[in-house]
Every structure is written in C-alpha cells, then in structure tokens.
Amino acid sequence: MTDNIKIVENATCTFCGCVCDDMDLHVDVEEKKIVKAKNACVLGRAWFAEHTIEDAPAAMIDGKEVSIEEAIEEAAQTLVKAKFPITYGLSDTTCEAQRQAVAISDFVKGTIDTTTSVCHGPSGLAFQGVGESTSTLGEVKNRADLVIYWGGNPAESHPRHFGRYAVTPKGMFTPGGKKDRTVVLVDVRKTKSSPVADILVRPKPGKDFEVLWALRALVKGKTLSNDIEKDTGVPLDVLKDLVERMKNCRFGVLFFGMGLTMTRGRHFNSGALLALANDLNEFTHFVAKPVRGHGNVTGADNVVSWQTGYPFGVNFSRGYPRFNPGEFTTVDTLSNGHADAALIIASDPASNFPKKAIDHLKRIPIIVLDTKSTETTKDAHVAFRTATYGINTTGTVYRMDDVAITLRPAFESPFPDDETILTGIRKRVHELMLAKHKAHGASGEAKVASPSKD
Amino acid sequence: MILVPGRSSKQGTSLNHGKLKQEYIDVTSTLEMNQDDMAKLKLVDGDSVRLKNDVGETIVNCIGKKPEDLPSGMLFIPYGPPSSQLMESDTAGSGMPLSKHMEVEIEKVGG
C-alpha cells in the first residue's frame, strides 16, 4: 500500500440489488485498488477488494490478442451475418450501456433478454397479470411494522437489507427500529436469515402457492380445515395468526425471492403473493417487492421496458418488438437451438444455465464483455475485457425499488467501459445494416432508423 | 431427493475473486445434506457423492446439516457449474427453468 490514498465518499456498491450508496472508499491511487470499503457488507468488501486491474488483453478474437477496433469490427460482422442473434446479460452494467445493447438488437433484428428471465422474470409476468402494490425502500424503513420475507435468504444474498432498509433501521414512524417491527421469514429450510425472524414459517418444498392461496382465503374470511397442514406443512393456527397480523399491521411489506420464482408454480407463485398484497389493502396498507439480485438488474428491466415496451425476452425480427417468454428468453433460444450468435454482456450463462443451453452456446460464436475471466469468456469468439461499473466508471443504476442512483467511480481502468464498446458495435452494426439494405435495393435509411445518440 | 441450489456468502465472495479460481469451484461443489440422510447412506463429511437425474450428473462433496436446519430429503448447494449439470432446460413457456427444485438421485462415489 502506498501513501497516496484518496477517499471517495458516498460511493455505491453495485454487487447486489441493494445498491448501497453510503460507501466510503479508501483508494490506493498508485496501486489502483480499493484498500478499505467502509460500510460495505461481506459481499461488498469482496466486490471492492477483488476488482483490481488484472494483466489481460483488452480484446481477443479466438483467444488471440487484437486491437479493440478489430474486435469491434469482428463483433459487428458476426452479429450482422447471424440469422437469429441474441443479446443477453446486462444486469451488471450501467443503464447507458444497456441502452446501446437494445439499439444493437433492434438494428440486427435480433432478440434481447436479460438475467431477469432467470431471476424475477416470472414476477415480471405476474406484475402484468396482477399488478403491483409497491413502495420505495425508504417508505419501508420509515413506515413498515410488519416485514415478511418469502423464499429468500437476505443474510447471505443481500446482507444489508435488514440493517439499512427493512428490519433494524429507525424510521420516522418506526423510531424503535427492530422493536417496532414484526419480522416473518417463510422458507423451506433454516438459513442464516432465520435468527432475525420473530416468526418462522416452513412450508414443504414446492407448496408456496398453496400456502399463499390459503392465506388469501383466510383474509377473505373463508373457513379452512386442519388438513391444510398435511398438504403444505404449515399448521392452520400459524396461518390464522399470520393473517391477523397482516390485517392489523399499520404498513406491511412482502419481500419475495427466488424461492418463489425458481420453483414449481413460478409466475403463479409470484402472482399469488402480489394478489395477497392487493387483498390486504382492503384492511391496511400493504406492499410487495421482489428482492433483486444483481446490481442493475432493475435498471435492465427499466431500460428494456422504456425502449421496447417489454421488460425482457424481446424479439425484433419483424422490425417491431414482440414479447414472448418461453420463446424469446435466452434459456429457450439456446436450448431450442434457435440462436446462431450471442452478445453476452456482464454475465456468465456458460456457468449457470441448464446443460442443454450451455451445450448450444458452445456451438455458436459468442461475443463477451466482462471484467473477469469466466466459463463464458473461455468459449468466446470475441472477448472484451471491460472496466467495472461503479468502481472504474460512472453511470446510472436502479436500486431494487426502482430508485435511480448515479455512480461515483474510485479509480480509472485501462480497459474501456461497456458503454464505449457497445456504442462502437452499435455504430458499426448500423453502417453494415445500411449497406446490406442498399445492396438489396431497398432504402436503407427508411428501414434502419438512425440512433438518437452518437 | 430435492436439490435446492442458492446463493451463499462464500459463493458470493469467491465469485468476486474469480469464477475460474479453486475457491469458487470448491464452494459450488459442496453439498449440504441432512445428517440423518447421510447416516442412512453411510456418508461422512467430505465424502464424494454422485448426483444424477434425467438431465445429467455431477460429483460433489457432502457436509452434514442438523435435521432441524435442513429437512430429510432436501439437499442444498451454492449454485454454479455443478448444479447446472442437473438443470432441466424446459421453462414451461416462462423463460425460467426449475432452478431450485430439482429431483435427483444420490449415491456414494468410491464405495
């Protein structure tokens, strides 16, 4: 460590969807590394400590170092030649970069999808079907006296969710902090989050929908038999007690995680929970919020929505956006063998996708932008090493409650940021598509709209 | 048995270090298992087990959890490349594979 330490106040951690913006970063300017991250949780400390400048080429084609310009040219050519190019990832980059990725997908008449489809995608479907009684995390902090976590383990996935937003902080109408709140945890197993809960509810695996529907019935005054325990694993008395607490609280919140969206029922589970929150507004104020994983996955939903009208799984092959989860979502475009080229931004599907999807991904040309080496970068046709958002670059991200936050970078990276690379690809793709249309005798300018930003 | 992959603190910190590093590989290859279920299969902490289903198979190491923490019949693993080998690709028209509810068979490796 050198003596040349710079302090960046109120910096933002972009590791998880909490997007805590109260970091004080101590930066060794000469060594280009963060030596201390005050206020960071265990995940945030690792995020800041491990994102140093690695000795690696900024761009490679088939494993050989090339100039960034050559890599951009090859990436653009690959996307334009493809019949079914897909764009995927985007949850760990800025909104500015996400915007460029949407433009690229539009120009090449491809498909754009984000990690939302394998995260809260089912909740996205449920929002469209049921609606969302929502709030910011600030409202939760200041008002919520009943906090329910369903199908998640924030102590390990979002360690500051309890302390900064929902359980222990003292708010305007919750001056006693934890003392003014009742915390309920619903999960199939005991986790590191369990000690924070006043009430633990343990349904049988795959029975969340039945428990939620039973709660809805009780809220509506229906009678249930004790057999509900045999089916769900949850005694009727526990359900009745929970319903009374929900109806009689001042401000209740249901935070829900992957335990609902990644299990049997998927969007029906999320929809049942959202419907329960809606039902409870007959009696009190109740909101429901998905607990989002990656630092800017909420931004990805917002950017793709405001540019296409849909949050994920969007296809441009007909020249206008179409939304169809199950067809245009990435697990499906890969598993069904439809995709013939992939632009992967800040994501590692080769590590986390189903085997069949990974097998197809390895058969097609992949263009990858990432800050580190991953299973996906290993198979890349074109690989860009990029700067880390929030540490090396500014930009905009959305917290899990849709609050936009501007990033304060700590030190410069020798690598370009995602937005720069994607802007380069977008410009070149636009030129190539115009040339393609002219070669076919059509009016290229009419078919390929000009981007709004250079 | 039902396999539930999910986030753990160690998985979260080790992925920052690097997904190709040994620490991440070790974390995502460690299976948590009900102690009573382990006893029935004559398994002790650190034993290698094969998980398999119709999709594929993977070999991981198991560690025991108290029955009150992890019910009998349930397995937990920090998600990563090994759990992906068992994930069904059918999304039932939703875009989402059943990533947290995989039916698997388990057997001891190496006798």
CB contact (8 A) between residue A258 and residue B100: yes
**Is B111 touching A (CB cutoff 8 A)?**
no
Domains defined for chain B, CATH in brackets: 2-108 (2.40.40.20)
Nearest to B68 among A121, A190, A258 (CB): A190
Residues in chain A within 8 Å Cβ distance of B90: 335
Phi-psi region of A242 (alpha: psi -120 to 50; beta: other; left: phi over 0): alpha
Q: Does B54 touch chain A (CB under 8 A)?
A: no
| Structural tokens at position B22 | 């040994």
- A64: number of Cβ within 10 Å: 8
pLDDT at A22 over 50: yes
Summarize pLDDT for A390-429 with one digit per residue, the tens.
999 999 999 999 999 999 999 999 999 999 999 999 999 9
* pLDDT tens string A252-267: 999 999 999 999 999 9
Other residues' Cβ atoms within 10 Å of the Cβ of residue B1: 15
The neighbour count for residue A49, using CB atoms within 10 Å, is: 17
For the beta sheet containing A33-38, the strands, ordered from the edge strand earlier in sequence to the opposite edge, are A5-11, A23-28, A33-38
pLDDT in the model for residue A444: 46
* A17, A46, A213, B14 from A43: Cα distances, Å: 12, 5, 35, 9
Residue of A nearest to B9 (CA): A156
A-chain residue closest to B79, CA distance: A352
Q: What CA–CA distance (Å, rounded) separates A156 from A266?
A: 22
Residue A447 has pLDDT above 60, yes or no: no
Interface check B88 vs A, CB under 8 A: yes
Q: Is any Cβ of chain A less than 8 angstroms from the Cβ of B92?
A: yes
Closest chain A residue to the Cα of B72, Cα to Cα: A189
A157 and A193 in contact (C-beta within 8 Å)?
no
- Mutation pick from B65, B96, B99 vs chain A, by most beta carbons of A within 10 Å, is B96
* Per-residue confidence (pLDDT) for residue B110, from 0 to 100: 79
The answer to whether A150 and A186 have CB atoms below 8 angstroms apart is yes
Distance, CA of A207 to CA of A231 (rounded, Å): 8
Domains of chain A: 5-50 (no CATH), 59-119+295-447 (3.40.50.740), 121-290 (3.40.228.10)
Q: What would the pLDDT profile of A361-395 be if each residue is shown by its tens digit?
A: 999 999 999 999 999 999 999 999 999 999 999 99
Confidence tier at A446 by pLDDT (50, 70, 90): very low
Percent of chain A with pLDDT over 70: 97
At B10-55, the pLDDT tens digits run: 998 998 888 889 999 999 999 999 999 999 999 999 999 999 999 9
Contacts of B74 in chain A (CB under 8 A): 188-189, 205
Within 8 A of B69 by CB-CB distance, chain A residues are 189-190
What is the reported pLDDT for A454? 45
Which position has the higher pLDDT, A122 or A443? Answer: A122
The DSSP output letter for A116 is: G
Task: Compute the average pLDDT of residues A145-168.
Answer: 97
Closest-CA distance of chain A to residue B6, Å = 8
Nearest to B12 among A43, A262, A348 (CB): A43
CA angle B95, A324, A311 (to 5 degrees): 80
8 Å CB contact between A60 and A368:
no
- The mean pLDDT value of chain A amounts to 95
Whether residue A267 contacts residue A290, with contact meaning beta carbons closer than 8 Å, is answered with no
10 Å CB burial of residue A222 (0-12, 13-18, 19+) is: exposed
- Residue of chain B minimizing CA distance to A268: B94
> Cα angle vertex A339, ends A336, A342, to 5°?
135
Question: What SS3 state is found at B25?
Answer: helix
Smallest Cβ–Cβ distance between A374 and the set B19, B68, B99 belongs to B19
What are the residues whose beta carbons fall under 8 Å from the beta carbon of A336, sequence distance 6 or more?
none
Mean pLDDT of B83-97: 94
Per residue in A101-112, pLDDT tens?
999 999 999 999
Name the residue in chain A with its Cα closest to that of B57.
Answer: A355
Helix A267-280 / helix A208-219 crossing angle, nearest 10 deg: 20
Taking an 8 Å cut-off on Cβ atoms, the answer to whether A205 and B18 are in contact is no
**Per-residue pLDDT at A440:** 82
A353: chain B residues, CB-CB within 8 Å: 84, 87
Chain A environment of B93 (Cβ under 8 Å): 325-327
Whole-number pLDDT of residue A395: 98
